[in-house]
């Protein structure tokens, strides 16, 4: 019996020592994190964004809630001699729900059309389902190029069973929200930005990008590798987001608007250390700022509209055929 107890104690001690050695090894180890996908691979991700918005117009506060869920597939078409990957990205399902002073607008591609789903926004999302574009990624997760956007938008417009006036509205929305910058921003949320050189636990690296999603924004991010466990590394991210003081007006129909926004973004990303593919991410965003409208025939007086936005985005892998 004493022998058995001694053997059990030795096993426990060995297990503890192994865990300690493993932790020390991970703490000292440098990880050369790269996206290593193979031709023919097909992967899926689901991104869900929930936002709460508040704006004040003519002294009245208006609150809006919005949820957007997108399921997308990523098929590796080619891997070149520099290990850059051409990936066909396809919208599989889209669910969006908006609640505000004008009521509820909802579109869910997995369900029959809901009441009120004959609006331009729903028509646009309906036409997106099944559409694809091709993005070229470096092993470090940087997007080199996006192809097929013009063809995708043309196909979307062609599919819409709405009159020409509504089509024109939708086309204007697409120019602002379904453009190359928007695709880069969406794809960037789904593909982790990897460090330019090998990093160890506690090491940080920075990235700075400019995107135009309706309005131009600069995103200045600091990433820190915080953990390695069971083949998965954890990266904490902190970002400052700013439209800048010299933002130019954006045209939305007859209206010209300038947006000035500042905010922060904090998140945690877990990726597979072997392949660089996303395992999980969660990002919290907080903005404050204002819209400024220029005078026009419908609104001869300029308006300043304070606005605040807070939201959370999660991304998870999903099975695809």
Per-residue pLDDT, averaged over 300-314, amounts to 88
Question: What whole-number distance in Å separates Cα of residue 234 and Cα of residue 273?
Answer: 9
Residue range 1-18: mean pLDDT, rounded: 44
- DSSP designation for 294: P
- Residue 28's pLDDT is 67
**What value does the mean pLDDT of the chain take?**
81
Q: What is the pLDDT of residue 180?
A: 64
Q: Provide, rounded to the nearest whole percent, the portion of the chain with pLDDT above 70.
A: 77
Task: Return d(Cα 82, Cα 232) in angstroms, integer.
Answer: 25
* Region for 214 from its dihedrals, namely left if φ exceeds 0, alpha if ψ lies in -120 to 50, beta otherwise: left
Cα 158 → chain centroid = 27
Judge whether residue 4 has pLDDT over 90.
no
Gap between the Cα atoms of 170 and 122, Å rounded: 10
Q: How far apart are CA 176 and CA 267, in angstroms?
A: 26
Exposure class string for 5-33: b at 16+ Cβ within 10 A, else e: eeeeeeeeeeeeeeeeeeeeebeeeebeb
pLDDT, tens digit, for every residue of 235-257?
999 999 888 766 666 766 666 77
Give the span between the Cα atoms of 304 and 191, in whole angstroms: 36
pLDDT exceeds cutoff 70 at 185 = no
As given in the structure block, the two tokens for residue 270 are: 């877990």
Which of 48-52, 58-62, 303-307 has the highest average model confidence (pLDDT)?
Answer: 48-52
* Mean pLDDT to the nearest integer, 60-80: 94
Measured between alpha carbons, how far is residue 78 from residues 89, 165, 190, 321 in Å? 13, 40, 19, 19
Phi, psi for residue 304 in degrees, rounded to 5? -115, 125
Q: How far is the C-alpha of 233 from the C-alpha of 136, rounded, in Å?
A: 24
Going by C-alpha positions, the residue among 158, 162, 105, 106 that lies closest to residue 130 is: 158
Length of the chain: 321
Residues 125-177: pLDDT tens digits?
Answer: 888 899 999 999 899 888 888 888 888 888 888 877 767 777 777 777 676 66
Four-residue CA torsion sign, 226, 232, 238, 244 = positive
Map out the domains of the chain with their CATH numbers.
31-318 (2.30.230)
Distance CA 97, CA 114 (A): 11
Contact between 317 and 45 under an 8 Å Cβ cutoff? The reply is yes
> What band does 24 get if pLDDT is binned at 50, 70 and 90?
very low
Cα(290)–Cα(119) distance, rounded to whole angstroms?
27
pLDDT at 2: 43
Q: What three-state secondary structure class fits 253? A: coil
């Amino acid at each position: 019996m004493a022998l058995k107890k001694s053997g059990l104690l030795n096993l426990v001690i060995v297990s503890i020592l192994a865990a300690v050695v493993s932790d020390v090894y991970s703490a000292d180890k440098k990880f050369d994190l790269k996206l290593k996908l193979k031709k023919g691979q097909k992967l899926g991700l689901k991104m869900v964004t929930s936002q709460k918005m508040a704006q004040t117009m003519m002294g009245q506060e208006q609150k809006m809630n919005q949820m957007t869920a997108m399921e997308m597939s990523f098929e590796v078409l080619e891997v070149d001699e520099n290990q850059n990957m051409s990936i066909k990205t396809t919208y599989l399902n889209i669910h969006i729900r908006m609640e505000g002073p004008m009521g509820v607008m909802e579109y869910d591609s997995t369900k029959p059309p809901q009441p009120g789903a004959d609006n331009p926004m729903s028509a646009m999302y309906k036409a997106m389902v099944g559409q694809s574009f091709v993005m070229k990624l470096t092993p470090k997760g940087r997007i080199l190029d996006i192809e097929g956007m013009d063809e995708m938008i043309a196909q979307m417009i062609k599919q819409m069973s709405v009159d020409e006036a509504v089509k024109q509205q939708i086309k204007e929305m697409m120019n602002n929200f379904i453009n190359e910058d928007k695709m880069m921003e969406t794809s960037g949320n789904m593909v982790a930005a990897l460090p330019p050189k090998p990093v160890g636990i506690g090491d940080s690296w920075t990235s700075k990008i400019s995107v135009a999603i309706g309005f131009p924004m600069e995103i200045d991010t600091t990433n820190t590798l915080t953990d390695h466990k069971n083949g998965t590394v954890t990266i904490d991210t902190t970002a400052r987001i700013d439209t800048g003081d010299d933002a130019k007006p954006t045209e939305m129909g007859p209206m010209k608007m300038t947006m000035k926004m500042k905010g922060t973004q904090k998140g945690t990303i877990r990726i597979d250390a072997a392949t660089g593919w996303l395992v999980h991410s969660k990002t919290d965003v907080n903005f404050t700022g204002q819209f400024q409208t220029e005078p026009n025939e419908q609104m001869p007086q300029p308006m300043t509209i304070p606005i605040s936005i807070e939201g959370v985005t999660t991304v998870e892998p999903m099975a695809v055929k």
